Structure 1
Amino acid sequence: MAEPDFEAQLTRLYSEAPSFPDAELFAAQVGASLDRGWAMRRVLIGGAGVLAGLIAAFQLVTTRFSAELQTLSHNGTRDISADVDKVMTRFNQITATSASVEALWLAAGLALLALGFAVTRMMEDF
């Protein structure tokens, strides 16, 4: 068993916060950091997200439709409606696989999640 005097001394030591000479300065610095505007961080994080989304979309388009786009630009004298039908047929073939449909659903879900985060952030600001 621990001695009652020792337990009382421990309780007293833990109940009293130690004082530091720069406590007021530290509290002021923490308060200034918390009060600082987050606008620049939001802009940078949002810009990075938009840039990453554009890069991902560009990669998706170039890998999936590069041959079709080259054919469209190469044969510019052909009827555009036939070319659009050809591209749509190719798009339908691509989305016929389950992996492609899952990728499209995943992209749509992530876009909705990002929209939800943006709306909740805007609601907190008001």
Structure 2
Amino acid sequence: MVEVEFERRLERLFADAPELPDCGAFAEGVERRLDRGWTTRRWLIGAAGVAGGIIGASQLVMSNIVQRVENAEDSARILRTGLGQVAPQAEWMSLLGSGGTMVWIASGLAVLAMGFVLTRVIEEI
């Protein structure tokens, strides 16, 4: 019995720790250091963002993105004319409708699903 009472008393003493006389000054010092660190962090994060933006823009310029878009437009035009020639022969092509609405919807849903998968993978890391 004595041990249980002693343990309870000991737990109460540790739970109600006395305040130290310099606790206010200590808390102010910690807050000052944290605030100073945030300013530095903001500047570092901003500088990293600007550097990343510059690198990304230079990569887009160096990858001939305009030429690739033009090639993609030409490919889409060729594909559209090919589908236009095949469309009268196949009944399932009527699902595409004018402008391939169903294809665009399916593509959009696929991109949305990939986005969900990507966010899930990022959360797991």
TM-score range (shorter-chain normalised) is: 0.3 to 0.5
Which structure is higher in RCO with an 8 Å CA cutoff and minimum separation 6?
Answer: 1
- Higher-Rg member (1/2): 2
- Scaled by the length of structure 2, the TM-score of the pair is 0.40
